[in-house]
Every structure is written in C-alpha cells, then in structure tokens.
Structure 1
C-alpha cells in the first residue's frame, strides 16, 4: 500500500511531557497551610511561587547498613532572592499501608502519624530564577530509622527562613528481607524520535550515535542492566543500508547494540502506530517490502584495506551483494511477532487483529497497559486466544516521568514514589513495567529509572520467556477507538496508491519509488510524533506535496501550435522528469487525420530531475492545411501516464517549393553578378606592350 495524506483534522493535543512531569513533581511538594506570604500562591503571579522538592537516594530504599541521603532542592522563579535557612527533616512513626495512603500523603500531607526529627538541612540563599540544593546524610543504623519495621514511611522537610516556611514531602521504603523473591520485567524502547524521511541520513546517524547523542545515551543507559529492549528496526536498517559509507560512530553503536546480552524484540518500522493501521482496515501491520531506494551498490563492493580495494581472485568483477530485508532489519531478537502499541492507543479491536497475524515463527504477543483490562490479572494474560503481556500503567507512568526529568531531586522523588507504590501494592507475580517512549532523555535519567525498576527490593529481573511462562489469566480488553486523524491520513495514503503504481512503471526498478514512499510514510506514522502535533501536521503536508509531485513526475511540456514548413520534417517535443531517478517512457504520436504520416512510437530516456527533447519524423501528404497530432506517454509495459494531449499542426508544404525557387534565383543572381564583375575588372586591366 502507498499513501498520501488529506489535510488532517484537529483534535485536543496530548498533554506535553513537561506538564506530566510537573504534575508528578507536584505530588511530591506542597505548601504549608496556611501559607506564609513569601511562599503563598499569588493569583496574578503563580509562576513566581517558590517550591521545594525532597528526595531520598537509592530510589527511596533504606539501606540495610550505611548512609541514607535526603536531598532538598528549592526552586526560586521569582525576582527576589530567598534568604538562607534551615530545613528540619522528620520521619513518620507509622507506615503508609496502601497506595491511596501514599497518594494522600504526597498530594496533601494527610497522615495521622507523628514525626521524629532526624536532622537539619542548611539551605543556602537561593538567587532569583535559580535553584539550590543541600543534603542530609543519616546513618541507617541510627534511631529512629533502625527501629522501623518493613514498610513505607512518610518523610517531610520544613524549610524555614525567618517567619516563612515551606514543606516538602517524600517517602522511604524499609524492605522486607524475609519476603519470597518475585519476578519483574522492564521494557525499554530504543527509538530515534520523530522522523519525516524513510531512513535516517548519514548526518543524523552521526549526531545521534556520537557521544552525547540520543541513541548513544539510550544504549549506554541499558548496558549492564537486565532491561528488555524494544528496538526500532529503522535505525539498524538505516546504518546497514549505508554499507561502507556508514559513519564510524553509527557502526560502533550498532555493534554495541547487537553485542548486548539483553532480551529484545523489534518494534514496527519507524515505531509506526499499530492501532491507527488496524483502525484504517489493515489486516496486519504494514512493513517495507523493499529497500531498493536506499541501497547504493557502490557501498557494497570489495573491502578497502590501506586505501586500496582488496584484489579479486578473478579478472571479471562481480556484482556486489546487497543486504536482504531480514539482514537490514535484524535487531538481534530471539522472538518475533511481539507488538507494542503506544500506551493508550490500542484496545480490543487492535488486540484481535494483531492476534490473527500469521507468518512469524512465534505466536503473536501484544503489550498493553493494565488500564485497558478489566481485571487484576498478572503480566501474562489471554484474550480470545491472543497472548497479552500487561504492564502496570501507574508504575510505568512514574518511570516514564522520572526518565524524562533531568533534575536529580525531582527524579529521585518520582522514583521513591515508584518504589513505595510497588512495596504496598497488591502486585501480581511476575510484574511487567515499562520505561515508556520519550524523546531526548539523558543517560542518567533513563538509567536511574531502569535501576529503580530492576532493583526493587524482593524482585528479580526476568525476560520475555519468563513472563510468558507464567500461567495466563483470561481477561476482557476495553474498546479503544483509533485516532481518527491518523486513520484519515492512512486513508489518504491509500488513495494515492494507484497513481504511484502507474508512475513507478517508468523506472527500471519500480521499487525505487514504492520503497521510498512506504518507508517514509511508516516513519510519519511513528509514535514519536504523538507529542508534536504541529510538527506532524507540517510533515504530513510536506509528504502530500512530495507525492503529488511524484504522481505527476513524468509528463509532456507543450508549447503552442506547430507549423510544418515542408513535406517532411521532425516535430520536437519536451518531456520532463521530476523524479529523483532516471526514467524511460514511450511517446506515442498519432495524426489527427490522413494528411500526416507519423512514426507512432518513440522511446525516450530522461535523467533524474531533468528534461529531454524528442524528435518525431512527420511527412505531409498535402501542400497545406490544418491538422493535429495526438500525444500520449506510456510506460515500457504499456501503462498510460497522464492524459492524452493534442497539438495543432499547420502544414505549409508549398513553402518548401517557394523557398527553393527563391534560393535558385538568389544563387543565379550571385553567379551573374560575379561573372559581370569579373569581365569588367578584366577590361580595366592595362594591356602589356
């Protein structure tokens, strides 16, 4: 299938990443009630409110021995500096026994527990529009921490500066070392962000895989962890398709990825939106059927050593061996047919369609959030004979927000909440969580989220096989309508299929065009665009214009009427090629009546994005008159391209005789003139004595 997009409709945009992070951070910090004037929320200047965040180290887990660190960070967005002060830290004596109790404490500070002070944090002055942090280190063996039973405990810091004060809240987890170990799987995506072209360019790959690039940060973050990787095969294909021209950093990155021992599976090409494809009527997910547009045979010749090509054993050069689709898309997965729709986009309809996909070596498995399943099932579930892996939606959301938060203290507060909710929640064994898709996150933030998930006290990491080995629970999956804007785009893509198939026939290899279009449109359906609606609209419009250009990529360029001044002469026409590849067409010409005799078919070759002039021999059977020529472009296989064109021809064959008489008269006159001049010159010459 090939695509072209209509103008997409509007829908409310998704909540931006910073809003979700801000909401999560708000769950950790709150103002004292009543709030003093210096820290109170002001209706007309809410952005100038000073806030404080408190976070423990190690994901909120109290170590069995050693030090426990609590960090307090104050953010001052206002114009005036906040003076230095002291923050008193206290730990509740009674545990929080449910997720509701944890939420109540973090949201509003509601708890019936008394607090024991464990120390003070000396906070420095916080300059205008700046942040400042300070930490308190406590020996975990000291009272009252050493006296706490296993559980989740509230922690607060009262930050005072004179008469002003601010409260920040977090939680600590005292692990139960005697509880039986349980299993947890952590899925982490490896993606390149939103793309508007079929492959990542060499320049993009260089930037993304170099030190500090997004892809390098992701691979470094998962290295040494037991995370389950969900890899976009468009990345591996983009690198391998460059062959010997691939950037050194990209080649090293790919080698590092493949060498990782982590369990993994492949996402759809470009991490394309599965739910939208199913919602548009596709029986199975779309995928590239060729990569011809991106493979340059010159990059797959003999290996180069010391600047010279390795000699071949025979004098006859061999055709380079191009990689297959399987080789291009290989991400090192041991299991195929694993599908992970973007969180919140897929429901029962998508599950049923994906469960019926055939052609893989393994039975289809679909990852879904627990929020669309009406039961308390474990990680492994089944719906109408379709295998599901259910990840905890609430815990995964905390991990995603933490992985997208660069502020260490705010991230630590989110991870502490994650650990606390996991400790008191009635969680199934095995448990599945995700560090969901996000663009531009740092290695430290992503690694912190992975470590918090895989390092939960009393849990050991497992892989896909371990999750699927658990007994499956039968569940009912809620219906989730597909995004109609994306469905409309796919419908528009499909409508362009006929025109693109016709025009591709002018190429020696029609898959050059179809492979380019398919890969690009799958990238445009990527889930990374869900957080950038404005950018997505612009990218879809650009693709629509590109396809419109290509659909009419080869055509005649006609001028006005033509005058045929003679009984036979060539008629010259121009054919343009707007495609980025050379084209070959047949130009069919037929006379409008019997007064003209025309060579019917002429083969035309046009270079990429060039024009070519073609001459068609024509003979006239009359002296003069008005006639016409009908023109039609066809592919070498006979498929018509565009509509038939008619050119008016004025035949003036008698002009040829007139021109000949005039030419004879002129030549004769010149001869007579020459003779006369010569005779007169001779008469004037002197006679010798």
Structure 2
C-alpha cells in the first residue's frame, strides 16, 4: 500500500503530556451537538492495516469541514480501544457507536497548527510510538480499535474510528474468500441495448470496458454477466460497433469463472413472488434481425465446427481447457445470408448455468421451488436471508430444500465494495482496514475451523469500481486470508447452524410485476390471431425482462411510470382490431344479412372469429364467422339475422375472438330496430294493388263491351226505322 502524499498539516506529539491528561476521560469534554456542526473525521493506518510489536503506529486522520465557518486551531486526541475486537458485533459497535460510547485509552494528543477553512478538508499525519501503544507480543493476535477526536475550545467537533490488526507473529488460520463481480448496464425499458449505447459502454472509458478491466483474469473473481449484453452486440451483425465486438472478444478470453444472470438482470425473486411458475427467458430475436447484416463476406474462409465441449466447472489462470477436436461443419458460401438463431445469440461458454442470484434480502421460501423448476440449483443469498444460531461465522455454503445456497457476507461485502469504490487513498485504507479486521475476527474466533466466505459486488446501480484489483490484491496479501474460486465456495462444507429466513419484496412492487406478467400472457393469447405471432410476443418478452431489472429496485417512482407506459402500450396493441360498425340500424323483414365492418390497424394480417349476441329474442343470429383481415385495412362481414318475435329494439353485442376462443376486448354494441311485420303489410298492400289493378281492368272491359253492345243495338234500331219509312222502289 502506498503512503498518502500529505498536502496538509503535519503534526507531532506534544512532549511532556501529563499522565492525567493522557488518561482524561471523554466525559470531561463537552460534545458539540448542534445541527450546524457538520465536521467529518476518519482515521486509518498510513502504511498498512497490520501492526507488529516494536512498530510505531502510523495514522492518517482526515478532517472534512462541511460547515460554512472555519474550524479554529484545536487538538486531535488519539485513543486505543480498551479491549481487542474479538467478535463481529464488537467491531460493529466500535466503528458505529452510540452517542455516549467509550473511546478507550488516550494514547496521545497533538495540536492542529492552523484553522481549517469552511468547506475544506485536510489530512493529518500522526505517529503513535510503539511505547505509547502499550501492546506487546503477549497481547492476543486480532483486530484493535483506534479513535481520533477533534476538540476545539474544549468542545468535541467530531470523532472518527478505525481499526488495525495486531499481529505479534502468532499462527493464524486463513479465511478463504470467494468473490463475484456483476457486469451489467443501467436499467432500461427495452430489452435490447442500442448500438449507440453499446458504443459508449464499450469505449476505452465506457462502463462495460471499465467493469471488465477491473476483473478480467483475476483468477478468484467470478463474473456474473448479463446475457442481454452479449445478445445485443451479436444481433447487430455487421453493424455492431467495433469497440463492442472487441469487448466481447476480450470477455471470451477471460480466465475468470463466468455464469449468467437472468436476461436483462431480471430479478428472479420478483418473478417468483409475482406468480411465475418458471423464470422468463427470451423467446426470439427475429423481429430485431436485419438479414442484410448477416451476409457472409466474400473473403470468409470455410469454418470448422468444433465438437461439443463438456461443461467446465472451473477456469483459472493456471488451468487450461483442452481444445476440442475439429469436426467438419456446414459449408458457408460467401455471399450467403446466415441468420442466427436465438440460441446462437445467447450462447456462451459459461462455467455454470445453474446459479441464480436474486436481489439481496428478498427471497421467500416459495421462490426456491421456482428457481429449481427453472434449472437453478445454487442460489446466492444475502446475510439477511439466513438466521445464524452459532456465535461463530459459518461457511458460505448452506443446504436449502431445493439445492445449495451461497450466503454473501453482507458486512464484509460492504467493506470490500467501499474499498473498491474509494476515490482517495485514505478512503480506500479506511474501508480496507475494516475488511481486514472482519477477516481477522473470523480467523481468530475459531482457529480450529477453516471458513470459506463469499463477498459480492453491488448490482443495484451499475458503476465501474476503480480499485477492485487493488482491493483484491490487498486481501490476498493478508496472512489471515486466502482468495479462492467460486467453485471452492460451492464445494465447501455446508454450514449446519444456519437456517433459511423468509424475506418478501414490497407488496406494491410485486403487484406491479404481477400486472406485467398477466399482461404478457394476455398479449400472447391475442397474438394467436396474427399470421406471425412471434413478431409481437418476442419484443413483449424482452421488454418485460428489462422492466424486471434489479437496477429498478432503487428507482421505485420511475419504474412505476415505465410499467404504466408498458401496460398502456400493450392495451393499445390488443385493441388494434376493432368493430367499427355502429347503430342505429333498422331491420325490415324476417330474414336479412347485416353487414358489420371490422378494422385491423396492425402491420400484418389477422384471423378473427366474429360472434353476435342479441339482447333479446326479437332477432336470431346465425353462426359465428371466421374472417381474415389484411394489414391496415377494413373488412365487412355479413351476419344472417332472422326476426323471431314481433317488432322492437335489440342491441347486438359483437365480440371478436381468437381462433382458440379468447375474446379480443369488450363487446361492441350495435342498436337495431326490428320491423318484422312490415313484410306482411307490404305484401297485403301489394296484393290489394294487384287485385285493384286487374279488377279495374276487368271493370273497364265490361263497361267497354256494354257500351259497344248498346251502340250496336242503337244502330240496329235506327236502321229498321229507316227501312220502314222509305217508299218502295
């Protein structure tokens, strides 16, 4: 560990400090408690977190003045905890004490030499002589507490506490420590990472590049990779950013153990508690593939397909996997289009595919059955999910009803994460000292038993940890700790003093997740009307997994908004095929064909079944109809209707169904007025008109004939009379 360059006050012990002053209790000094005071102070070993007999204790005290006024010249008192920190509880109480906790024995007091300006910070270098420390080789090996108190005008402005490990040369039992680093991207509402985002993430200073840089080829650091990253790069084909392709190639050469997270790092416990019987996974990427991006270049040699490689249980920098024997593969013709399958896009040479990593402290016992049904036989738990009945720290491995559990040590993980995320050398040493002390306590609490622990890095908010390699190297350099692989943690003896403790996710979050799962099922039923359902169901599945990302855990409000937007979008999708005919319609006659118009607003043809149900018995409706509606078009269907009983109003409820009987939305009402007797009335009127017409014609004929006969008779009489009066010739 490097010595921090001091750009602040250099202090030396005050000679002639009386014994009474050295042992003055803290209670004799007034403590400032006003809210206006916000002064931070931290303390760490300058060179190392380990101290041996005869060595001076070199300390760095950092003071941060967060107030709006300068801190006048005062003094810094340095204390040593009365007792060794032999338990984890004692360490926690020392580092995060109650307000009136004892600070131990005062070792020395040094004055500050100048005021600390408002908003400024300063680092103070303090040396505690070995003689003032009061520890010898007769003192037990283990963690010790040290405190620094800043006092100004007899008012305590701040107190900081730290630790170091007293190491008189006693034999120790090293703690075996495995570790896991997640490689993920920030949360998103869509199931594929865009080319632009990938280019940014995989640039030389991008998030994914820095994450991989921090862990690649650390033989005892396992990588938990989000498969979404791999698929998002591959699905872009020849348009994938060069930096992303190079990043994927680097990952392929890593000697680390690698296992997959859920796609898009979807929270597996949230799925289980929301009602999923098995965990969701991508179904297809066909809708995202542009065939023109998968044309085999003209200069591509014919590849050789290797035989299947057996599952690898462990990969380290000292172990090589034998190369498989090449076997003849399919011939690839230059210029040919080779579309990758879903398996092709997700394929990776994982060390294991049976490890599940749910969100910390949110696993219920029923979740384990869902994990096992999905092929996950090893579950990574946090300390909050187990109950310990023994005073000694147990092994990480525990036996679960469905397989193996690996319990991440929450306190140790927090200290290691803080060290890896530290922005200054001093902050790194503060956190590293806590991690070293925790490991020392575990080593010393039961020297006859070798323990294997697990530390995990944070995945709730993906960030690159800049000091991972430095931190893990420091852990490996401790004489009381050994870094081991994840496989070694899995093979450790399961703890017998640990029982599973149920935890549950917030009910509001579970309710929203359940609505997403239910809606996905509804969309899958709806999609059966499509000529190609996968075009709808596969992006729906990917977006669902993205919304179940563990990174959303810390963004409840934003997540709820995205869930609402997703539900609204899928609602519109399922209402894209509608009945557009509206009433009122007048039906005249006992049998007619009613034409109903159906509209399809989707980009592909659909096949639906139309069912019409009358509100009363005035109309009888014929059989249901199966109709194909072309993309972005309307189609009219004829529904046979028969009038049954009298006249009146009827409401026809028109419902569209999938071919398997699932209704598409709510029934569409059509108001119909029935006039069934108008047909009889019309026929009677027509008959009367016909009879009248022909009757009138007959009557006219009769009258005409009578007139003709009358005229003939009159003409005959006139002729006879004329003959009577005419003289004979």
Please tell me whether the aligned partners of residues 59 and 452 of structure 1 are also in contact (alpha carbons under 8 angstroms). Answer: no
How far residue 281 of structure 1 moved from its aligned partner, in angstroms, is: 4.1
SS at match of 2:532: coil
How far residue 530 of structure 1 moved from its aligned partner, in angstroms, is: 1.7
Match of 1:393 among 402, 405, 410: 410
Distance verdict in 2 for CA 1:406–1:337, change over 3 Å: same
How far residue 288 of structure 1 moved from its aligned partner, in angstroms, is: 2.3
Which whole-Å CA distance do the structure 1 matches of 2:36 and 2:550 have between them?
32
Is 2:568 aligned against 1:552? Answer: no
Which whole-Å CA distance do the structure 1 matches of 2:606 and 2:492 have between them?
59
Distance verdict in 2 for CA 1:640–1:478, change over 3 Å: closer
Which whole-Å CA distance do the structure 2 matches of 1:93 and 1:319 have between them?
75
How far residue 420 of structure 1 moved from its aligned partner, in angstroms, is: 0.9
Match of 2:516 among 493, 496, 509: 493
Q: Quote the residue 2:192 is aligned against.
A: 199
- Mark the runs of 5 or more structure 2 residues left unpaired by the alignment: 1-24, 301-330, 588-593, 620-624, 641-648, 674-729
Which whole-Å CA distance do the structure 2 matches of 1:205 and 1:123 have between them?
52
Please tell me whether the aligned partners of residues 596 and 639 of structure 2 are also in contact (alpha carbons under 8 angstroms). Answer: no
Please tell me whether the aligned partners of residues 70 and 136 of structure 1 are also in contact (alpha carbons under 8 angstroms). Answer: yes
Which whole-Å CA distance do the structure 1 matches of 2:583 and 2:202 have between them?
55
Please tell me whether the aligned partners of residues 85 and 142 of structure 2 are also in contact (alpha carbons under 8 angstroms). Answer: yes
Q: Quote the residue 2:12 is aligned against.
A: none
Q: Quote the residue 1:127 is aligned against.
A: 117
Distance verdict in 2 for CA 1:503–1:66, change over 3 Å: farther
Please tell me whether the aligned partners of residues 231 and 266 of structure 1 are also in contact (alpha carbons under 8 angstroms). Answer: yes
Per-residue CA shift, 1:182-224, capped at 9, x if unaligned?
4211122222233222222223323333344333332222235
Match of 1:338 among 333, 337, 355: 355
Please tell me whether the aligned partners of residues 516 and 563 of structure 2 are also in contact (alpha carbons under 8 angstroms). Answer: no
Is 2:266 aligned against 1:272? Answer: yes
Distance verdict in 2 for CA 1:257–1:414, change over 3 Å: same
Match of 1:324 among 342, 354, 361: 342
Which whole-Å CA distance do the structure 2 matches of 1:160 and 1:268 have between them?
52
Which whole-Å CA distance do the structure 1 matches of 2:290 and 2:399 have between them?
45
Which whole-Å CA distance do the structure 2 matches of 1:145 and 1:333 have between them?
53
Q: Quote the residue 1:678 is aligned against.
A: none
Match of 1:222 among 198, 205, 215: 215
How far residue 300 of structure 1 moved from its aligned partner, in angstroms, is: 2.1
SS at match of 1:172: strand
Is 2:538 aligned against 1:515? Answer: yes
Which whole-Å CA distance do the structure 2 matches of 1:539 and 1:520 have between them?
11
Match of 2:456 among 423, 427, 434: 434
SS at match of 2:542: helix
Q: CA RMSD in A?
A: 4.8
Distance verdict in 2 for CA 1:252–1:64, change over 3 Å: farther
Is 2:143 aligned against 1:152? Answer: yes
Distance verdict in 2 for CA 1:586–1:140, change over 3 Å: farther
Per-residue CA shift, 1:619-675, capped at 9, x if unaligned?
9xxxxxx9999987676899764466577899xxxxxxxxxxxxxxxxxxxxxxxxx
Q: Within 5 Å, give how 1:174-323 maps onto structure 2.
A: 174-175=166-167, 176=169, 178-225=171-218, 226-303=220-297, 318-323=336-341
Is 2:348 aligned against 1:357? Answer: no
Q: Quote the residue 1:373 is aligned against.
A: 387
How far residue 417 of structure 1 moved from its aligned partner, in angstroms, is: 1.6
Please tell me whether the aligned partners of residues 241 and 294 of structure 1 are also in contact (alpha carbons under 8 angstroms). Answer: yes
Which whole-Å CA distance do the structure 2 matches of 1:441 and 1:67 have between them?
38
Please tell me whether the aligned partners of residues 415 and 435 of structure 2 are also in contact (alpha carbons under 8 angstroms). Answer: yes
- After TM superposition, the score normalised by the length of structure 1 is 0.71
Distance verdict in 2 for CA 1:330–1:463, change over 3 Å: farther
Which whole-Å CA distance do the structure 2 matches of 1:628 and 1:161 have between them?
87
Please tell me whether the aligned partners of residues 123 and 133 of structure 1 are also in contact (alpha carbons under 8 angstroms). Answer: no
Larger deviation: 174-183 or 242-251? 174-183
Q: Quote the residue 2:484 is aligned against.
A: 462
Q: Quote the residue 1:604 is aligned against.
A: 629
Is 2:96 aligned against 1:107? Answer: yes
Please tell me whether the aligned partners of residues 125 and 132 of structure 1 are also in contact (alpha carbons under 8 angstroms). Answer: no
**Whose radius of gyration is greater, 1 or 2?**
2
Please tell me whether the aligned partners of residues 520 and 541 of structure 2 are also in contact (alpha carbons under 8 angstroms). Answer: no
Q: Within 5 Å, give how 1:616-627 maps onto structure 2.
A: none
Which whole-Å CA distance do the structure 1 matches of 2:233 and 2:47 have between them?
37
Which whole-Å CA distance do the structure 1 matches of 2:28 and 2:245 have between them?
57
Is 2:54 aligned against 1:40? Answer: no
Q: Quote the residue 1:169 is aligned against.
A: 161
Which whole-Å CA distance do the structure 1 matches of 2:658 and 2:364 have between them?
45
Please tell me whether the aligned partners of residues 122 and 134 of structure 1 are also in contact (alpha carbons under 8 angstroms). Answer: no
Distance verdict in 2 for CA 1:405–1:351, change over 3 Å: farther
Give the paired residue count: 591
SS at match of 1:72: strand
Which whole-Å CA distance do the structure 2 matches of 1:531 and 1:508 have between them?
40
Per-residue CA shift, 1:28-62, capped at 9, x if unaligned?
xxxx956988x8221xxx25422212233577345
Please tell me whether the aligned partners of residues 178 and 484 of structure 2 are also in contact (alpha carbons under 8 angstroms). Answer: yes
Which whole-Å CA distance do the structure 1 matches of 2:462 and 2:521 have between them?
38
How far residue 552 of structure 1 moved from its aligned partner, in angstroms, is: 1.4
Is 2:519 aligned against 1:526? Answer: no
Which whole-Å CA distance do the structure 2 matches of 1:639 and 1:162 have between them?
80
Distance verdict in 2 for CA 1:184–1:590, change over 3 Å: closer
Distance verdict in 2 for CA 1:433–1:140, change over 3 Å: farther
How far residue 345 of structure 1 moved from its aligned partner, in angstroms, is: 0.7
How far residue 292 of structure 1 moved from its aligned partner, in angstroms, is: 2.9
SS at match of 1:75: strand
Per-residue CA shift, 1:266-322, capped at 9, x if unaligned?
12222222223333443432222333333333332224889xxxxx9879x644221
